[in-house]
């Protein structure tokens, strides 16, 4: 008979949290559905190393055999990277996965929810989900936005994926009360691109300033997320003209193939990686690496607050 455990922290993560040491949550959908094999496992390991080098304990999150695991060992990370047909779990899928003993990688919505439940305040990813282009027909808005509107967590990301309707996503985040701070930037990043061209209202320059906003959230009783929008360096971005051309092809291909729902984001990311001969993948990785590092520094500043 299986135990009734639905949430399990690794020893290292549990120890760090109880000592008040810095911890950074990492999602697993980017590993299972966002990156090609075998690169995905290398990246999963590398991201954990980057978080450590920045002074924090990494906590990659996934659901394995019905148990939401906060902090994976090497064998568990390997399962996430290689298991055929691994599910993609949003927040709404967690209870069903737990009850039915299923396994799956967690999206930003599921990861934020689980991290917050475990007491982790800082989370690094690549690009958030958001409002899809053509929303008026499909009503496809990522559950990431809803979860962030009612979860107090700091998400370090390179904006939202550029396959989305970025201005509409920013409008939704405003409506839902999610704070956005550009890290060293007056514009919202464009995921593969340094900038989306859209302005942000707040600009911060240091991990300490991020931690100060988090402390103010606590003092005010704010229950929404803080998005620290950290642009991919200009030198590492995808060529904007190539981006625009291949993205247009990707969107047309998705429509022709009738791809919808959970499958659309992985489809578009993969199409872009192929259509740019891997250049979009390199830009994506550069963004994620920078976010893991900055999240580690913010977690350290948060732990050192007085
Ligand atoms: N960031 C990346 N690659 C990804 C994702 C984020 O660089 O693959 C994943 C995240 O898990 C995010 C998900 O939550 O894509 C969004 O999926 P959807 O649009 O179906 O909500
Ligand atoms: Mn969706």
Q: What CATH number does residue 199 fall under?
A: 3.40.1790.10
> Counting atoms of ligand 1 from 1, which one is nearest the CA of 27?
11
The Cα–Cα gap between 36 and 270 comes to: 8
Range from 3-7, 8-12, 188-192, 218-222 carrying the lowest mean pLDDT: 3-7
Per-residue pLDDT at 3? 56
79 Rama sector, left if φ>0, alpha if ψ -120 to 50, beta otherwise: alpha
DSSP character for 65?
T
Q: What percent of the chain is modeled with pLDDT above 90?
A: 98
Annotation marks residue 76 as catalytic: no
Question: Catalytic: which of 27, 48, 88, 141?
Answer: 27
Which whole-number Å values give the CA distances from 114 to 90, 96, 123, 194, 237, in the listed order? Answer: 11, 14, 11, 30, 31
Kindly report, residue by residue over 266-287, the tens digit of the pLDDT. 999 999 999 999 999 999 999 9
Q: How far is the CA of 139 from the centre of ligand 2 (A)?
A: 9
Rg (CA), the chain: 18
pLDDT at 30 over 60: yes
Residue 1 confidence class, pLDDT cut points 50, 70, 90: very low
Residue 265 confidence class, pLDDT cut points 50, 70, 90: very high
Kindly report, residue by residue over 104-163, the tens digit of the pLDDT. 999 999 999 999 999 999 999 999 999 999 999 999 999 999 999 999 999 999 999 999
Per-residue pLDDT at 159? 97
Neighbours of 136 (CB within 10 A): 7
pLDDT at 2 over 60: no
The Cα–Cα gap between 15 and 3 comes to: 23
Q: Based on the number of CB atoms within 10 Å of its own CB, is 271 exposed (0-12), middle (13-18) or buried (19 or more)? A: buried
CA angle 40, 79, 1 (to 5 degrees): 160
Please, are residues 152 and 112 in contact by the beta-carbon 8 Å criterion? no
List beta partners, residue 154: 122, 226
What average pLDDT is seen over the chain?
A: 97
Averaged pLDDT for residues 18-33: 98
Residue 2 lies in a domain: no
Residue 62 lies in a domain: yes
Annotation marks residue 277 as catalytic: no
**Which stretches of the chain are assigned E, i.e. beta strand?**
7-9, 23-26, 57-64, 67-70, 87-89, 104-106, 122-124, 154-157, 179-183, 202-204, 226-229
Kindly report, residue by residue over 83-116, the tens digit of the pLDDT. 999 999 999 999 999 999 999 999 999 999 999 9
Residue 172 lies in a domain: yes
Residue 15 confidence class, pLDDT cut points 50, 70, 90: very high
What residue ranges line ligand 1, CB within 6 angstroms? Answer: 27, 29-30, 33-34, 107-108, 125-127, 129, 142-144, 262, 265, 269, 284, 288
The Cα–Cα gap between 173 and 142 comes to: 12
Per-residue pLDDT at 77? 98
Domain total in the chain: 1
Residue 123 lies in a domain: yes
Residue 106 lies in a domain: yes
Averaged pLDDT for residues 245-249: 97
pLDDT at 10 over 50: yes
pLDDT at 195 over 70: yes
Averaged pLDDT for residues 74-82: 98
Residue 1 lies in a domain: no
Q: Residue 246 is part of which domain span?
A: 7-303
């Amino acid at each position: 008979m299986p135990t009734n455990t639905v949430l399990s922290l690794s020893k290292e993560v549990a120890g760090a949290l109880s000592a008040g040491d810095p911890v950074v949550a990492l999602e697993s959908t980017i590993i299972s559905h966002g990156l090609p094999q075998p690169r995905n496992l290398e990246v999963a390991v590398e991201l954990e190393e980057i978080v450590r080098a920045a002074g924090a304990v990494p906590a990659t999150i996934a659901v394995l055999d019905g148990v939401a695991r906060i902090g994976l060992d090497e064998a568990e990370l390997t399962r996430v990277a290689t298991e055929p047909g691994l599910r993609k779990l949003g927040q709404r899928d967690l209870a069903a996965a737990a009850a039915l003993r299923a396994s799956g990688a967690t999206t930003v919505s599921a990861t934020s929810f689980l991290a917050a439940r475990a007491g982790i305040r800082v989370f690094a990813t690549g690009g958030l989900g958001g409002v899809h282009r053509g929303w008026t027909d499909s009503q496809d808005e990522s559950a990431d936005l809803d979860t962030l509107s009612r979860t107090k967590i700091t998400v370090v990301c390179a904006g939202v994926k550029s396959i989305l309707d970025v201005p509409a996503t920013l409008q939704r985040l405003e409506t839902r009360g999610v704070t956005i701070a550009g890290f060293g930037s007056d514009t919202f990043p464009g995921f593969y691109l340094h900038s989306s061209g859209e302005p942000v209202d707040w600009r911060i320059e240091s991990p300490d300033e991020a931690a100060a906003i988090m402390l103010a959230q606590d003092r005010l009783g704010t229950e929404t997320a803080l998005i620290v929008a950290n642009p991919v360096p200009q030198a590492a971005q995808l060529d904007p003209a190539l981006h625009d051309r291949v993205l247009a092809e990707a969107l047309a291909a998705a429509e022709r193939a009738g791809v919808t729902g959970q499958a659309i984001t992985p489809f578009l990311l993969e199409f872009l990686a192929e259509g740019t001969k891997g250049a979009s993948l390199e830009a994506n990785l550069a963004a994620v690496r920078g976010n893991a590092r900055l999240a580690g520094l913010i977690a350290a500043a948060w732990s050192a607050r007085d």
